[in-house]
Chain A
Amino acid sequence: MKQIKNMKNIRKIFLICACLIIYVYYAAAMLDEKPIEEYDISSGFGVDLYRDGAGTVKYSIPFSILVFKGENRQYSMIKTGEAPTGAETRQNRQLKTDKQFLIGSQKIMLFSESLVRYGLKYNADIQFNNTKINDRGIILVCEGRTEDILRYKVKGYASSPEYIEGMIKNSMANDFFSREYTILNMYVRLDTEGRNLVLPYMKISDKGLEITGLALFKGDKMVNKVDVEEGKFMNMMRDDDLIGYLSIQKNSDEFMNFYGNTKKRVKCNKVKEGYEFEIIIDIKGDVIANTLYKEFNGKTKKELEETLSKDVEKKCSEFVNKMQNEYKLDCLELGMYAVAKYGRDTGVDWNEVVSNSVIKVKANVKVDKVGRGAY
């Protein structure tokens, strides 16, 4: 009996100790924390690089901060830190701001073209080390200074980053836009053999904020860019499971629009002279507008599928040609497939190998639905 009582006591003491330890642990952690109103919460930030008069590199990192006043009124403020290294900008920014910074809730991260042409590695490191950052935030490259884009007023929005985020997210449902433009994907693409980073490229045009193309990277440096139309076919060959529109147009009265999603497969073979790649794109979707064919039957449907396939193949091959001869880059990440099959760390420059190998593109378009019928 006595022993049982003892045991109970020990258990009680143990429980109290455990409670105390847990309480102290959390209380100590709370010491550093402040209420949310005491923080500068940013919806997005940019990373800029410029050389000052003496020619030394300076990073300028503007944050778009939301200022809440009253119930319905919101202002956005730009707070910029400038210093020779990325981490020092935080220190510099703190001198100008009335709150503590919370880096991590950002929706977008903008890189200026000057930074990505200089190299992204130095900046990727600080983001990688920061455990608080939102790894699913979207990243983009922009023309000119990032501060101008963050400062750009969009009607109905408190700050431009919210608008830009929507722009990228909704492009994914159109135009064969990829989903890969997040910080997490950047880490992977910068450091993996046989892969290359591609980021959306935007600028302020006379119509407002606009995505004008895709920036192509070699290693951690931007080397070229393609426009939206070219990017469409590049993405089709580069990424899996994309959604977008295809069309055939003979003249203004006779056209056909097609909305479908893609599936991609890559076959890689090593032959004597080099590598041989075959990219097979399956596109399955619906006809959404059609004045080209009077009537749909088995024959015309097949004809339509063939014409579309030929069209896609032609445009894809055009891009492959341009890529091999002009860009001299492995934008399609074909190196990744070769590496998987024939082993990595062989010291091969995949940009060069892919530029010199044979790449065949095959497209299979399949029409699923044709709508309620022809009008």
Chain B
Amino acid sequence: MKKYKNFIFIIILIIFVVYLRAGEERMENIEELEIAVGIGYSVKEDVGGGIKYMLPINSVVYQENGVNVSTVRTGTASTIALTRGERQRKSDRKFFLGTERLYIIDEGIGRFGVTNTIDTLFRNPMVNDDGFCVICKGKSEEYLKYKIPGYDTPVDYITGMIRNAPSYNFFQKNYRIKDVYLMVGSEGRSLALPYIELNEKGVQITGMAIFNKDKLAAILDIEDSKTMNILRSDRGKGMLTIQGNERDFISYYAKCKRKVKCNKEGDKYKFIIDLKFNGDVVNNVMYKKLSSKVEVKEKFEKDMEKKIEARCYEFIDKMKSQHKADCLELGRIAVAKYGRETGVDWDDVISNSDIKVNVKVKVEKVGRGEY
């Protein structure tokens, strides 16, 4: 045994050295890389009638003097994978994928279909699955090139916007690219992503983009988005207001919980959505003595329930007649109960089924009192 000891030691040493050397070849200095932080997706119609993909990538270059530079390089080619080569030709550094935080898909791709885009992302094991995904108005390049003072890249800002959106407007937390894979691929689910716009005042979320299968079906304004988010997400937070006239209003900041029941009667499905709101009154100049009288509080709760219910029904009607898509992911619940892969088109079924909404509003705190 002792004889082999040296021999074994030498072999281990060799393996170790080879391993380290091999690693060295693949790694490069951070100054020689372009670290991608955000990727945009656009399409452009080609002269021949085909289409071309345009993929701008916003990357950060770490310089030796400590100043970070943000660059945007665009690759244009007939498929997404080919844009890589085209983009590399314009760059003096190697692209480094895996740290990107944002995927901006523009309306053009949305109308064309997002399957190709998602497929390329899904196949690549290097990409960051936790990056956020948004739909934008216009070209995605403009958003990545937009300069915000105090920020290295606009990606930081937009990512923060999506991350913190759930504190109001009943936005969800699942706008990451891994959730997009699921929303597009699972039966009974549908894709809905925040929609951002760039104007002279800056970047702003202006609503939600809803999809029919993998194609952009409609863009909802912020009021409709709010209602859809209430009906779609299991829990959300947001501000609700009843306004009589300009000097008569009450605002209520609430958390919402959703429960859905599904019943099948013959061929028709019946859904009951239970919404429970629980929150605080933050501004009240409408109901006098809200804090001291129970009847007034109950009246407010009733009024608020009626208002939310009316809004929900209005949206459901619109969804059934105009969008003809299952934006509320009700198919998911039916599939769980009655089995999947039955070859049913859930967008169609939901548009023809009976949807009922029950709303319960509860006031927890009324603040320091009314003024």
Give the interface segment out of B28-36, B165-173, B259-267, B330-338.
B165-173
B151 / chain A contacts, CB cutoff of 8 Å = 67, 69
- Which residues of A from 83 to 118 have beta carbons under 8 Å from B? 84-88, 90-91, 94-100
Which secondary structure dominates where chain B touches chain A?
Answer: mixed
A100 / chain B contacts, CB cutoff of 8 Å = 164, 167
Given A56-B246, A87-B253, A91-B169 in contact, is the A129-B164 Cβ separation under 8 Å?
no
**Contact in complex: A87, B239 (CB < 8 Å):** yes
Q: How far is the CB of B289 from chain A (nearest CB, A)?
A: 14
B281 interfacial by beta-carbon distance below 8 Å: yes
B16 interfacial by beta-carbon distance below 8 Å: no
**Contact in complex: B204, A96 (CB < 8 Å):** yes
Given A98-B157, A100-B167 in contact, is the A90-B149 Cβ separation under 8 Å?
no
**Contact in complex: B369, A94 (CB < 8 Å):** no
Q: How far is the CB of A270 from chain B (nearest CB, A)?
A: 32
**Contact in complex: B251, A96 (CB < 8 Å):** no
**Contact in complex: B241, A88 (CB < 8 Å):** yes
A126 interfacial by beta-carbon distance below 8 Å: yes
**Contact in complex: B284, A94 (CB < 8 Å):** no
A131 interfacial by beta-carbon distance below 8 Å: yes
Among A56, A94, A121, A191, contact of B168 (Cβ-Cβ < 8 Å): A94
**Contact in complex: B202, A131 (CB < 8 Å):** no
Residue of B nearest to A89 (CB): B239
B285 interfacial by beta-carbon distance below 8 Å: yes
B201 / chain A contacts, CB cutoff of 8 Å = 80, 96
Query: Of residues B169, B251, B253, B370, which shows the largest number of chain A Cβ atoms within 10 Å of its Cβ?
Result: B251
A266 / chain B contacts, CB cutoff of 8 Å = none
B370 / chain A contacts, CB cutoff of 8 Å = 125, 128-129
CA of A126 to CA of B370 in the docked complex: distance in angstroms?
Answer: 9
Interface range for B: 35 or more
B272 interfacial by beta-carbon distance below 8 Å: no
Residue of B nearest to A98 (CB): B160
- Which residues of B from 135 to 189 have beta carbons under 8 Å from A? 149-151, 156-161, 163-165, 167-169
**Contact in complex: B249, A85 (CB < 8 Å):** yes
**Contact in complex: A94, B164 (CB < 8 Å):** yes
CA of A125 to CA of B253 in the docked complex: distance in angstroms?
Answer: 15
CA of A160 to CA of B160 in the docked complex: distance in angstroms?
Answer: 25
B21 interfacial by beta-carbon distance below 8 Å: no
Given A98-B164, A100-B164 in contact, is the A126-B204 Cβ separation under 8 Å?
no
**Contact in complex: B285, A98 (CB < 8 Å):** no
CA of A128 to CA of B253 in the docked complex: distance in angstroms?
Answer: 15
CA of A68 to CA of B149 in the docked complex: distance in angstroms?
Answer: 11
**Contact in complex: B371, A121 (CB < 8 Å):** yes
A121 / chain B contacts, CB cutoff of 8 Å = 285, 371
CA of A80 to CA of B204 in the docked complex: distance in angstroms?
Answer: 11
B368 interfacial by beta-carbon distance below 8 Å: yes
A57 interfacial by beta-carbon distance below 8 Å: yes
